[in-house]
Chains A and B, each alone.
Chain A
Amino acid sequence: MKKKNKISVFNICLTIGLGIICITCVLPFVHLLAVSFSSSSAVAAGKVGFLPVEFTTASYEYVITGGRFLHAMGISIERVILGTLLNIVLMVLTAYPLAKSDLPGRGFLSGFFVVTMLIGGGMIPTYLLVSGLGLKDTIWALILPGALPVYNMIILMNFIRGLPHELEEAAWIDGASPFGTLVHVIFPLLGPSLATVGLFSMVGHWNDWFSGMIYMSEPMNYPLQTYLQTLLVDFEKLLQSDTSGNIQEILSKMNARTGRAAQLFLGALPIMMVYPFLQRYFTKGLTLGSVKG
């Protein structure tokens, strides 16, 4: 009895303590949401806390109007699906053999991949390569150069090594080939880890604006984040280029910060909506007992 009590006190403290930490994580987000719905003059005066001041949707209208928003989002979704699938397939295919500690040549192969994390050739040679391969202005320019995310692959490899070996050995005894074992035995066990590295891949693809900017000639082919990046109003640049005197009109409707906040929400919302679905896999875990049975 006594023990149980102690545990629940511990649990209450835990829940409250972690709860406070969580709140600190959410507050900036709430603040920015309020900023994105506030008038720019209220934001410029620093009046916005956690509720919108002088409610307006002007920043959102500015970002969404013109139809380019949806088009760019379509390209982003295409990229995320294609890119994440490719990442996952390549990561699994690479991580599984490397997780075999007695695979001949394993040390060399691991080194081969790790080196790429430490040194890179830089933007220009990569661009020349992609351009030379004729990938410019295609979605492959955004996907292929990062097809195998080495960092995440190593995390995945580490997960695979932590799996119980009994199942694999049982499969071998049944005469399963390595490919068969990977697909039928190992892959099903990777749920939470794949959800983890898959999330990182997705977020990475979604947030990357730079490669869209350098590999696409037409702004119409920009993925969402690249498009949103182009909307950031560089005030002084605008002012210098002003010849007709009506930028003030846009600027009075939104300043850089409200614009950025709206941009952030429109940019992050779709990917955040995916998150709870992946979440299922994070906490569900493995019911190893049943697998064994």
Chain B
Amino acid sequence: MQKNISRLFKASLSSLIALSALTGCMSKPSTPTAETTPRVEPPADIWAPYDEEVTVTAFVPENSGTEFQGDDDYGNNPWYRAYKERFNINLQNKWVSNDYDTKLNLAIADKDLADVFYVDSARLNTLHEAGLIMNLEEVFDKYASDVLKNYRKDYAETWETGCFDGELYGMPQMSYGIIDQFQYIWIRQDWMKECGFDAPKTMDDVIKIATTFAEKYGGYALPECQTLENLFRLALSWGAHPDIWVTKDDGTIEYGMIQPEMKEALAQYAQWYKDGIINPNFTTLNWDKMMQGMINGECGVIPFAQWFGYNPLPDLIKNQGPEAIFYPYEIPTQDGSDILGSVKFSNEGYVVIRKDCVNPEAIMKIVNFYAYTVNDAVGVETNEYLSSLHSFNYPNCVRETRIINPMNDYNQYIQVKAAVDAYQAGEDVDTSELGTNVAKYESCVNWLTSQDPNGVGDWLQQGNDRSAYGIAKKYVDEKQYVQDAKWGPDTPTLQSAGSTLNDILIEGFTKIITGEKTIDYFDELVEQWKTAGGEKATQEVNEIYGG
């Protein structure tokens, strides 16, 4: 035995040496050729191709939702091919990563940057401070398309957050629009019909519906989880806006979560908990566990965002049947006035260009192209071509260079809804006019024809007469919302505090709701919040965003 083992030792030593020699050859570093081409003079027309090929590099976040077809991957897909064909630009990925932020920090530390990538506002500051990114004014002025220039004009406040001393360093990628930020009360339809309820007009109606469901079908009236997210949604009813900063009558800005309206909402919530209306276990439930109860049919009313139809509703329908569908309703206010939603500053990130990039206008062409496909291209390019770019979640491949139209979802709703109405009226629907929105329309039709649970999300977001966007469109059109007074990135104190400032309040609110503390504890909490940095944060917000 000992002989064997010592032979094993020798063998392992020699095989180690052999293996190391072998792998030396095997794992040839497949680093993409990071050398960019020397400066190539761009054509005068911003849509024209370069005379000779230009290579630029990018950092790309990996997204498991992308469904690559055939041999496609992050380095070879319809977008990248379009850049080559249309502009003679060869876009190469310096790396693709699932943990983009970590990789990006390391790349910044290593001073090994790609020509183009996207960053959040904290890193935008870092890079600007370290002098690693380019002032984009000149290249934007000369090569940005009219669409981009209009974005900059129409959403000037958002674009200013990418500027230092008025000069553009990061192009904001914006968002799909404020239409997706509103809150609703979702109510289970089969139970509602059985009990003969109409749409709730007051919060008492909501509670009556919820408690009746609980008595009749078991379970509890209102679900909640440890983050108190449902409480914060319902707080809108009292005119509280816990997620945002609000402007007071005297013009100063204060945090929404510490306002007296929030205290009223909280007092009511504590009473509900005492009366057994709220799920008694909520303090330990995370989101998944809360939804597990919903899926099991323990509850028929939930305050939630517009995407309830995507998750957990399909699972709920699979377990409870299609008649267990939930519809969205407006949250009623205490005094019967119109509800005001909260709208936050929302921006996917900033497109930045490395300071030493020699062909920055090539990047502008790429950025122009995405904006083109979602605006002017509809009707110009074929429907097949556009959907080849926008299907299978392929826009994930251009996460670092896409600038989204903030009217995207609003326009989409109008188109999809009109098409669904036409379909239901028995008219012929010309899907070629839907451009990139065909898929949404088709899954609505799938729900109508076969009650396919996978279509219910789109149906309740856009297709149904009572849909989330249908309600939200009114909020947007009639400006029925309060805009975050902090319309931009977090201030230094907020950034360095992470979530710990909010945590003080959430921990305290939980104690109030469960009755461990009385409602008077609220004022004590506000003081705690202020001394922990809330006071300083408020000052900063007023300095930066006030006046």
Q: Do chains A and B touch in the complex (CB under 8 A)?
A: yes
Residues of chain A at the chain B interface (Cβ within 8 Å):
39-42, 44-47, 75, 78, 81-82, 85-86, 88-89, 92, 123-124, 127-128, 131, 136-139, 183-184, 187-191, 213-214, 217-221, 229-235, 237-252, 255-257, 291
| Pair A252/B15 contact, Cβ less than 8 Å | no
**Chain A to chain B: the 4 pairs with minimum beta-carbon distance, closest first:** A188-B2, A137-B29, A41-B318, A217-B95
Give the residue of B10, B65, B436 whose beta carbon is less than 8 angstroms from that of A250. Answer: B65
A45-B295, A248-B310 given as contacts; is B315 within 8 A of A214 (CB)?
no
Q: Given A218-B30, A248-B443, A248-B454, check contact A230 B64 (CB 8 Å).
A: yes
The closest CB in chain B to the CB of A142 belongs to B27
Contacts of B307 in A (CB 8 A): 239
B453: chain A residues at CB < 8 Å are 252
Q: Which chain B residues (367-398) contact chain A, with CB distance < 8 Å?
A: 387, 390-396
CA–CA, A198 to B531, complex, Å? 52
Which single member of A75, A221, A245 contacts B30 (CB below 8 Å)?
A: A221
Q: In chain A, what residue has the closest Cβ to B408? A: A243
Shortest CB distance B233–A (Å): 16
Query: Provided the pairs A44-B291, A238-B64 are in contact, do residues A252 and B454 lie with their beta carbons within 8 angstroms?
Result: yes
Taking CB atoms and an 8 Å cut-off, the chain B residues in 396-441 that contact chain A are 396, 399, 436, 439-440
0/1 string, B88-128, CB within 8 A of A gives 1? 00000011111100110110011010000000000000000
Give, as a whole number of angstroms, the nearest-CB distance from A240 to chain B: 8
Contacts A85-B16, A137-B31, A241-B393 known; A45 to B292 CB distance under 8 Å? yes
In Å, the complex CA distance between A187 and B307 comes to: 62
Contact with A along B312-323 (1 / 0, CB 8 A): 101100110000
Q: Are B19 and A82 in contact (CB under 8 A)?
A: yes
A194's closest neighbor in chain B, by CB? B5
Contacts of B312 in A (CB 8 A): 44
Contact pick for B98, options A78, A213, A252, CB 8 Å: A213
Question: Are A85 and B95 in touch, CB under 8 angstroms?
Answer: no
The interface residues of chain A lying within 8 Å CB-to-CB of B10 are 183
Contact (A183, B395) CB under 8 Å given A127-B109, A217-B32, A245-B439: no
Cα A219 to Cα B99 with chains together (Å): 11
Q: How far is the CA of A250 from the CA of B393 in the complex (A)?
A: 12
- Smallest CB gap from B462: residue in A: A245
Please pick, from B95, B310, B439, B443, the residue contacting A218 in the complex, using a CB distance under 8 A.
B95
Looking across the interface, which residue of chain B has its beta carbon closest to that of A250? B65
Is B20 in contact with A188, judged by CB distance below 8 angstroms?
no
Report A194 CB to chain B, min CB distance, Å.
9
In the complex, what distance in Å separates the CA atom of A85 from the CA atom of B8? 11
Complexed CA–CA distance, A86 and B13 (Å): 8
B63 at interface, CB cutoff 8 A: yes
Q: List CB contacts (< 8 Å) of B162-190 with chain A.
A: 176
- Closest A residue to B10 by beta carbon equals A183
Verify A136–B29 contact, CB threshold 8 A: yes
Please give, as numbers and ranges, the residues of chain B lying within 8 Å of A241 by CB-CB distance.
63, 65, 393, 395-396, 399
**A238 with B315, Cβ < 8 A, contacts A45-B292, A246-B439 known:** no
Chain A's closest residue to B75 (CB) is A218
- Report B's interface with A, CB cutoff 8 A: 1-3, 5-6, 9-10, 12-13, 15-16, 19-20, 23, 26-27, 29-32, 62-65, 67, 74, 94-99, 102-103, 105-106, 109-110, 112, 176, 288, 291-292, 295-296, 307, 310-312, 314-315, 318-319, 387, 390-396, 399, 436, 439-440, 443, 453-455, 457-458
Min CB distance B268 to A, Å, is: 29
Closest to A54 in B: B318
Q: From the candidates B20, B63, B95, B315, name the one contacting A255 in the complex (CB within 8 A).
A: B315
What are 6 sample pairs from A and B whose C-beta atoms fall under 8 A apart? A40-B315, A41-B314, A187-B9, A214-B103, A219-B96, A233-B64
B16 touches A82 (CB 8 A): yes
- How far is it, in angstroms, between the C-alpha of A235 and the C-alpha of B99 when the chains are bound? 15
Residues in chain A near residue B109, CB distance under 8 A: 124, 127-128
B5 pairs with A244, CB closer than 8 A: no
Give the Cβ gap from A61 to chain B, nearest Cβ, in Å.
13
Q: In whole Å, how far is B502's beta carbon from the nearest beta carbon of chain A?
A: 18
Does B443 contact A245, Cβ atoms closer than 8 Å? yes
- Given contacts A183-B9, A187-B6, whether A243 and B454 have CB atoms under 8 Å apart is no
| Max chain B C-beta neighbours (<10 A), residue from A41, A138, A214 | A41
Indicate if the CB atoms of B311 and A213 lie closer than 8 Å: no
A198 to B507, CA, bound (A): 45
Cβ-defined contact, A237 with B30, below 8 A: no
B64/A252 in contact, CB under 8 A: no
**Given A128-B109, A213-B98, A246-B439, 6 new contacts (CB under 8 A):** A44-B295, A124-B109, A213-B103, A231-B64, A237-B63, A252-B454
Q: Which partner residue on chain B sits nearest A237 by CB separation?
A: B63
Which chain B residues border A138 with CB–CB below 8 Å? Answer: 23, 27, 29
Q: Are A248 and B30 in contact (CB under 8 A)?
A: no
- Residue of A with least CB distance to B441: A245
- A243 and B310 contact, CB distance less than 8 A: no
Q: In chain B, what residue has the closest Cβ to A190?
A: B5
CB-CB under 8 A from B390, the residues of chain A are 243-244
Q: Are A249 and B454 in contact (CB under 8 A)?
A: yes
**Chain A hits for B67, CB < 8 A:** 246, 250
* Chain A residues whose CB sits within 8 angstroms of the CB of B12 once the complex forms: 85, 88-89
Q: Is the CB of A246 within 8 A of B295?
A: no
* Chain A residues closer than 8 Å to B440, beta-carbon distance: 245
Given A41-B295, A45-B292, A188-B1, decide whether A243 and B395 contact each other with a Cβ distance below 8 A. Answer: yes
- Report A-chain residues with C-beta under 8 Å of the C-beta of B315: 40-41, 44-45, 255
